[in-house]
Chains A and B, each alone.
Chain A
Amino acid sequence: MARKLLLTHIDVPGIHTFEVYRQKGGYRAVEKALKTLTPEEVVEEVKKSGLRGRGGAGFPTGMKWSFLAKPEGVPRYLVCNADESEPGTFKDRYLMTHIPHALIEGMIVSSYALGANTSYIYVRGEMMPQIRILERAIAEAKNAGLLGKNILGTGYDLEVYVQPGGGAYICGEETALLESLEGKRGNPRIKPPFPAVSGLYNCPTVVNNVESIAATVPIINDGGEEYAKIGIERSTGTKLISAGGNLNKPGVYEIELGLPVEEFIYSDAYCGGIANGKRLKAVVAGGSSVPILPANLILKTLKGEPRLMTYESLADGGFQSGTMLGSGGFIAYDEDQCIVRNTWNFTRFYHHESCGQCSPCREGTGWMEKVLHKIEHGHGSFSDIDLLVDVAKKIEGNTICPLGDAAAWPVASAIRHFRDEFEWHVTNGQEAQARNYGLAHYADPLEPVI
């Protein structure tokens, strides 16, 4: 069985309480970091660990921390991005619900490393139960002297606040999150300046995902080098994957990076194969924003190598034949799912969630949704498919924040890999209302199509 670092004690009853968490060795990392390590040494450990941001972009966390500007007399902030709203991703919610103290402990260690005395956890507004759980956990930690003034007698002060968001997807983008946290409209800022220089209240700020922050706990406990031994190449450590869709056992799994995708889907230790004995048609590997891949390309790269759950392997082949690990929202589609409908649904989401600040995304997402709605409901034409490709191309890369890219990639990739299905929707408009297209040539190569 693979090693677990974050979810080791997930099955222990009462692990959400301070006592049980402490009993199971919780807050050891806080003691170790605050009493024996300097902040620079903590940053160094995280750098050594090779931990990459778990929110989606996969930027090395240690490097992000070392970019933090440290002018004299200006406070620095750590902000935890718990605004998890990517369709298909639910790992942070799971972690916060069941082991809230893992996040609090990570917050203390990370804040110490960055020299922040005030830290915020920005939680998505819909997650009211998790907000209560976190607030309780903070109160418990405070009672035990792990938060507040003079933590463990080391002279380090830290306050952690939980801030509920308004439930906007865009507030998961780090600069929009900071705007929202400041009480403004959640519009992404234009970068540069980056938050590391001018973030929350114009002070140097680091924004990290829940899982990245929680992952600092095992890194400090076992050392960065030990953590780096797990995984392959530049994808080190473990990653929480939210598996959803037509799987026998959907749920949150902690995997060692480097696990073959095939094993993740079909092994009984993980998802246990496709539900109802059906065949795999397509996979969205990292949350709705990443390109969708047909079954043959998700299991094997174009070079014929087995595809692994790592940042590099999933991206192998670029966007022509690869995708991204993203935030780890793994959605599997069986043979009966309609890609056109799915793409339309994603686009509807991005249209609804676009902040409306810059023109290509504001207008383009709505346009794509309308065209896809037309195709899905049997009124499309062949030129509409080309139009979608063109609109997606005009949004991609031309917007302030990555939401534009996130809206364009699923459409572009769906058409790239499933064009025949889109065309079938055009030529067989009536039939497309009654039944789904089915598998076709990109079927799961493991089981030959009859």
Chain B
Amino acid sequence: MAEDVRFKVSIDGIPVDVAPGTTILNAARLIGGDVVPPAMCYYSKLEGSGGKCRTCLVKVSKGSEKDPRPMPKLVASCRTTVMDGMEVQSITSAEVLEARKGVVEMLLINHPLDCPICDQAGECHLQDLSYEHGLADTRYEFERRTFDKIDIGDKIQLHMTRCILCYRCVFVADQLTPQRVHGILGRGDAAEISTYIAKAVDNEFSGNMIDVCPVGALTDKTFRFKNRVWFTKPVEAHRDCPTCSGKVTLWYKGEDVLRVTARKDTYGEAEAFICNTCRFENKATSDWIIEGPRVVKRTSVISSNHYEQLNPPPVVKKNLTLQAANKEQFERIERLLP
């Protein structure tokens, strides 16, 4: 009986039916599209994650059918569960957009913005986030905090300067590996992810820390400075792995596999975590059974180059000269669109 109960929720006026216990963020993801709040720290596969970055703040304009009072403050949608009849405002609330902009600005003030030399550039959630919600300019005029680079084991490098303290990698170490040897040291804006006395993380699943990192703080040392992600082509492949699912994405440049990652969904989350053997040790096409090209979604620059047509911006649709000039592209898009 109880499993049949569904809650009716509306997000930005779009109704959706969800199971009790669903968070607002996941309800929004069921709708998809623009109403989905951005999330930098929440990771659906990591228990206890979320609530920290505050980018997913939404306004609850109606608490529930029983108690229609609005919630007094903006709430973190990733950690707030829905109630029956709840009404949520995401992109329709100026207050939410303003707060989100504020959070993005806060996240960026101590971020080095070294995207041109960062391996994460092109698949960086912070890049996407600031592109969508941030300002082109910063009002911060002080020295940014910096840290020395730390090697976490021989395959992973931690560049704390870029870290936004989402705690995802700590949750990975806590939940995927039997013993956690890294965590947060220090407090406030002096807090850092660190291995205690530079102790190496030695675990078969430690590589997943790289995948969950939303920024370029944790990078794959076998891929560092090898190539820009948008020059590489993601291809789905799998192998018979005794430790993990073996389902991965191979990133090709020409004939070479430059790196191996987990398959990431629309929201940048790994579909299944993979082991270090798959990730670091198997970098030949012959190790894998190729399935086909990987569809990369969202605003990523990877998708703009290779796999999907760039939608013409609205200005092109209005301007007749531009329209004529891009006639061929328009027709192609219309053919491709379902």
Contact = CB atoms under 8 A, between A and B. Distances in A.
Nearest to A185: B184
Given A360-B106, A362-B165, A398 B54 contact: yes
Interface of A is mostly: helix
Nearest to A354: B188
B99 A400 contact: no
B106 A364 contact: yes
Nearest to A187: B184
A394 interface: yes
B99 A394 contact: yes
Interface stretch (B71-79, B205-213, B223-231, B233-241): B71-79
Given A185-B183, A398-B74, A398-B99, A365 B188 contact: yes
Contacts of A370: 142
Contacts of A17: none
Given A398-B54, A398-B102, A355 B188 contact: yes
B189 A190 contact: no
Interface residues of A, number: 29
Interface in A82-137: none
B51 A358 contact: yes
B313 interface: no
Contact of A356 (B99, B103, B188): B188
A370 B110 CA distance: 13
Contacts of A387: 139
Interface string B88-109: 0000000000110011011101
B156 to A, nearest CB: 22
B18 to A, nearest CB: 18
A358 B52 contact: yes
Interface in B103-154: 103, 105-107, 109-110, 139-140, 142
A58 interface: no
Contacts of B76: 190, 400
A364 B186 CA distance: 17
Contact of A400 (B52, B55, B140): B52
B165 A356 contact: yes
Nearest to B191: A356
Contact of A394 (B52, B73, B102, B191): B102
Nearest to A387: B139
Nearest to B167: A357
A251 B63 CA distance: 45
A218 to B, nearest CB: 33
A359 B53 contact: yes
Contacts of B110: 363, 366
A287 B110 CA distance: 30
A363 B187 contact: no
Contacts of A395: 102
Nearest to B165: A356
B187 A353 contact: yes
B52 A363 contact: no
Interface string B172-195: 000000000001101111110000
Interface string A332-368: 0000000000000000000111111111101111110
Interface in A378-401: 387, 393-395, 397-400
A400 to B, nearest CB: 6
A147 interface: no
B188 A353 contact: yes
Given A190-B76, A367-B140, A387-B139, A356 B189 contact: yes
A375 interface: no
B28 interface: no
A360 B165 contact: no
A219 interface: no
A213 interface: no
Interface string B39-56: 000000000001111110
A363 B99 contact: no
B38 to A, nearest CB: 12
B199 to A, nearest CB: 18
Contacts of A398: 54, 57, 73-74, 99, 102-103
Given A190-B76, A398-B57, A360 B103 contact: yes
Interface size class of B (residues with CB under 8 A): 20 to 34
Most buried by A among B76, B106, B183: B106
A168 interface: yes
Contacts of A359: 52-55, 103, 106-107, 164-165
A356 B183 CA distance: 13
Interface in B304-331: none
A399 B52 CA distance: 8
Given A190-B51, A397-B74, A363 B189 contact: yes
B220 to A, nearest CB: 25
Most buried by A among B53, B167, B187, B191: B187
A356 B54 contact: no
Most buried by A among B54, B55, B105, B142: B54
Contact of B165 (A185, A357, A365): A357
A366 B143 CA distance: 11
Most buried by A among B50, B74, B191: B191
A364 B190 CA distance: 13
B102 A356 contact: no
A387 B139 CA distance: 8
Contact of A363 (B98, B107, B183): B107
Most buried by A among B55, B165, B183: B165
A150 B162 CA distance: 58
A362 B188 contact: yes
Most buried by B among A190, A352, A354, A400: A190
Contacts of B52: 357-359, 400
Nearest to A405: B73
Interface string A170-190: 100000000000000100001
A3 to B, nearest CB: 36
A360 B139 CA distance: 15
Contacts of B51: 190, 358, 400
B73 A397 contact: yes
Contacts of A353: 187-188
A117 to B, nearest CB: 29
Interface in A24-68: none
Given A367-B140, A398-B74, A362 B105 contact: no
13 contacts: A170-B187, A190-B76, A351-B188, A351-B189, A353-B188, A355-B191, A356-B188, A356-B191, A359-B55, A363-B106, A394-B99, A398-B99, A400-B76
Interface of B: 50-55, 57, 73-74, 76, 79, 98-99, 102-103, 105-107, 109-110, 139-140, 142, 164-165, 167, 183-184, 186-191
Interface of A: 168, 170, 185, 190, 351-360, 362-367, 370, 387, 393-395, 397-400
Given A363-B107, A365-B188, 18 more contacts: A168-B187, A170-B187, A353-B188, A355-B187, A358-B52, A359-B103, A359-B107, A360-B54, A360-B103, A362-B165, A363-B189, A367-B142, A387-B139, A393-B102, A394-B98, A398-B102, A399-B54, A400-B76
